[in-house]
Chain A
Amino acid sequence: MNNCSYTKDVERWFDGAAIDSDVESHVADCAACAEHLQFLKLTREAIGAVDVRQVIGDAQLPSFLAGIEEGVHTPRKRYTGLWAMASAVAAALIVTVSTMTILSPGPEPVGAQTVVEEYSTEIDGATAESFYTGEEETPTVWVNVPDGDMW
């Protein structure tokens, strides 16, 4: 970056403006301004090398500026409605699945066994007992009735 106070004068002189100060002799003494002047020359040559230059005519300028204005100020398209709906559907799914999971009896829990808490008989002389039978260990409550007529 050229911090020399002659920089603006150098640029104006380069563009052909009438300058009071002796810019040319300053550029010969100031390495920074000489470098800046070289940069301006190279830039001009590079621009001049472009085959087709787009020129915005005066008639096109209002449309050109309007396009820029529109690009700058038009709000970016937001998908608020779509996202809101997707969120609502996701929330509804979560609530539904959670509710079904809570209310569904589901598979039998491991260890849910039948428990015989108490048993008795009022038949005279009979006794009651509890045991498990068969391959499935079926709980069984049994009355052992004495020989003879129950009644």
Chain B
Amino acid sequence: MKFFALMLCGLSLSASVYAADNEPISVSMVAVQASNEGRSVKYFGEGLQKVRSAIGGLDYDTFSKLTSIDTTIPLNEETKFRINEHYSLYLTPMSIDGQGRIRMRARLTITSRDKDKTVNALDTVLTMAPGKHLNLGGLRLDNGELVVVLTAREN
């Protein structure tokens, strides 16, 4: 009886550890158009409250949200996030370290107007602190530039 109880306890612990190692990653992505319109006070459009602290230090006076998503993505698989008809973001979480930091590859791609060519406008490998923001940006977008704010956390 005691043997079975111990075995059950061990199996439960193993299952918990296995589940923790294989849970997907929670990702938040907010795509922002940043521009300078001659404002004396920085303007943040609707839906940017969560990322205001991340983008507020950039040298722009107007920030407008293009799109955003909160989702979970699997480890070791590339997941695509469409930003608009030209830009897409691809995320590939590769590992999670002992401090909960997520090592991932992030690619911002741009597709030409005639849609016959796509290149990596920005390709980076980084280790993200859980729950902290990261900005990817600088690419032209209409009268401003694209800024993508990423947040990731182990689920």
Contact = CB atoms under 8 A, between A and B. Distances in A.
Interface residues of B, number: 43
B53 A108 contact: no
Contacts of B103: 117
A53 B90 CA distance: 103
B130 A112 contact: yes
A122 interface: yes
Nearest to B122: A143
A93 to B, nearest CB: 14
Given A108-B100, A135-B57, A145-B139, A120 B134 contact: no
B126 A139 contact: yes
B129 A108 contact: yes
Interface string B115-145: 0010111111111111111111111100000
A133 interface: yes
Contacts, number: 129
Given A99-B16, A103-B17, A136 B133 contact: yes
B136 A141 contact: yes
Nearest to A99: B13
A125 interface: no
Contacts of A81: none
Nearest to B97: A112
Contacts of A120: 120, 122-124
23 contacts: A103-B16, A105-B130, A109-B100, A111-B99, A112-B99, A114-B132, A119-B124, A123-B121, A135-B53, A138-B53, A138-B57, A140-B134, A141-B122, A141-B124, A141-B136, A141-B137, A143-B121, A143-B138, A143-B139, A144-B138, A150-B110, A151-B110, A151-B117
